[in-house]
Chains A and B, each alone.
Chain A
Amino acid sequence: MTEQEIVEKINSALAEEFELDLADMTPEAGIYEDLGLDSLDTVDMVIVLEGEFGFKIREEEEIRKIRTLGDIHNFVMAKKKALGA
């Protein structure tokens, strides 16, 4: 899977879960202030990402540092790389 495909997969899964407009989903978009998510949504975001990519990320400290959509893209790519997938 290319980086572009990973980004598209993340964006389309989050767009569906949170009823977001794909046009707003730029890497620099803040997940709270720009995309309108709240702390409850991050619980479901983790479930969605795990479902899409088949890995477990729930207890990872790095998740707490996520602020932008780009942070999510980078986090998922790093995770996939670490798993050798």
Chain B
Amino acid sequence: MYRVAITGIGIVSCLGCDLSQVSDNLRNGRSGIVVDEQRQELGFRSPLAGAIQGFNSPAGLSRKQKKTMPEFAVHAYAAVEQALSLSGLALEEIQNPQSGLIFGCDSSCIAAIEQVDLLRGHGETRAIGSGQVFRSMTSTVTMNLNTLFQTQGACWTLSSACSSGGHAVGQAADLIMLGRQERVICGGAQELNWESMCSFDGLGAFSTRIDEPQKACRPFDADRDGLVPSGGAAALMLERYDLAVKRGATILGEVAGYGFSSDGNHLSVPSGEGLSRAMASALQQAEVSTEEIDYLCAHATSTPAGDKAEAEAIRSVFGTRTPPVSSLKSMTGHELWMSGASQVVYSTLMARDGFTAPNANFQAPDEASAHLQILTEARSQGPRRVLCNSAGFGGTNSCLVLRFDS
């Protein structure tokens, strides 16, 4: 088995559109959550959402290229540009069959709506135009990025609800470990528009703490009342470790283990037991003990049931002495399809910049979270061995062990 190096990261999120801005906001526990007045007018139960501010559409994209890309695919392009630049790889070095692309994404809702509106408005399919078919597919991110960056290896999008991004990073690492790819650009992307969130809002799972948007998302806190939807795109350049060393790349970290599991149980209520199995599997593959993990980047989204299940799952794996834990969703909101990948980007940023971000808005534990060592303030040292948890509807779980000490 080959080792897997992280040599590039990129992010466009509600915490910022470049690595230094995102790092600064993470370190200071700043939230990217706002009240979206349009949602209020439309009849949403919660108008809270993550908002991307100050994003400039990449100069390298033509009007024709953008025709086939929904907004989140453009975010993914910008994130990959950052990751590629940081990796020091030239474009020509990824334009070969040993370089692949795997992203996590589970919808392209806005394109589906726009094409139907065009048909209804004009009464003929030919009025829809050439771009919508490519924008409306769930694989729109990898389909577009493949033609733009011209990689020639793996090229697909993986859908597993809110663990899509985590599984995408894990599968990319697996392909490199097995020697089937030398490098894979991977990540996750999530649309931010209200259209894609209205039915989820209708489930009553979103926070309604409208008077305090930046304090609305409070994972593991006894007073939590739901998640806040968010989005953008996160990207990583993963490379075969020996090849990255050979070319003299700056190695930011290592994906040392990937564990996956499914609950085999309920559609929307996590069992916790499934997540425990994925954590144990990732630790085993990485050959890292529970005592060696010095930061657990939790999935916790701020829902009463989900956070409780994760807190209990962490305890079942780590016992009564847990590592420092934080859920970054306290600042970012729930980045859904993207979140499993963005956790890896955020953790890598922390290791690079020498801090560990807090679980913002945590005031008091409930019975389940009382056993966790929750980071309420930023720690002024970077994590060395991290476990990232990610879980999705249907009970699909992804856990990744990252090392920054090798």
Instruction: Mark A residues whose CB is within 8 Å of B.
Output: 17-19, 40-41, 43-44, 46-47, 58
Contacts and interface: CB of A to CB of B under 8 A. Distances in A.
A46 B127 CA distance: 9
A41 B126 contact: no
B302 to A, nearest CB: 43
Contact of B129 (A18, A19, A47, A58): A47
16 contacts: A17-B63, A18-B63, A19-B62, A19-B64, A40-B130, A40-B131, A41-B130, A43-B126, A43-B129, A43-B130, A44-B67, A44-B129, A44-B130, A46-B126, A47-B126, A58-B124
Contacts of A41: 64, 130
Interface string B109-135: 000000000000000101101110000
Contacts of B124: 58
A19 B62 CA distance: 8
Contacts of B63: 17-19
Contacts of B67: 44
Which 4 pairs across A and B sit closest by C-beta, in order of nearness? Answer: A40-B130, A43-B130, A58-B126, A19-B63
B148 to A, nearest CB: 15
Contacts of A58: 124, 126
A41 B130 CA distance: 7
Contact of A18 (B64, B126, B127, B131): B64
Interface of B: 62-64, 67, 124, 126-127, 129-131
A58 B126 CA distance: 8
B358 to A, nearest CB: 46
Q: Which of A40, A41, A58: most chain B CB closer than 10 A?
A: A40
A40 B64 CA distance: 10
A44 B68 CA distance: 12
A41 B65 CA distance: 11
B127 A47 contact: yes
Nearest to A40: B130
Contacts of A44: 67, 129-131
Contacts of A19: 62-64
B57 to A, nearest CB: 14
B67 to A, nearest CB: 8
B64 to A, nearest CB: 7
Nearest to B122: A47
B137 to A, nearest CB: 15
B183 to A, nearest CB: 30
A41 B129 CA distance: 9
Nearest to B118: A47
Contacts of B130: 40-41, 43-44
A26 to B, nearest CB: 21
Nearest to A56: B124
Contacts of A40: 130-131
A46 B63 CA distance: 17
A44 B129 CA distance: 5
A38 to B, nearest CB: 9
A18 B129 CA distance: 13
A46 B130 CA distance: 11
Given A18-B64, A44-B67, A47-B127, 19 more contacts: A17-B63, A18-B63, A19-B62, A19-B63, A19-B64, A40-B130, A40-B131, A41-B64, A41-B130, A43-B126, A43-B129, A43-B130, A44-B129, A44-B130, A44-B131, A46-B126, A47-B126, A47-B129, A58-B126
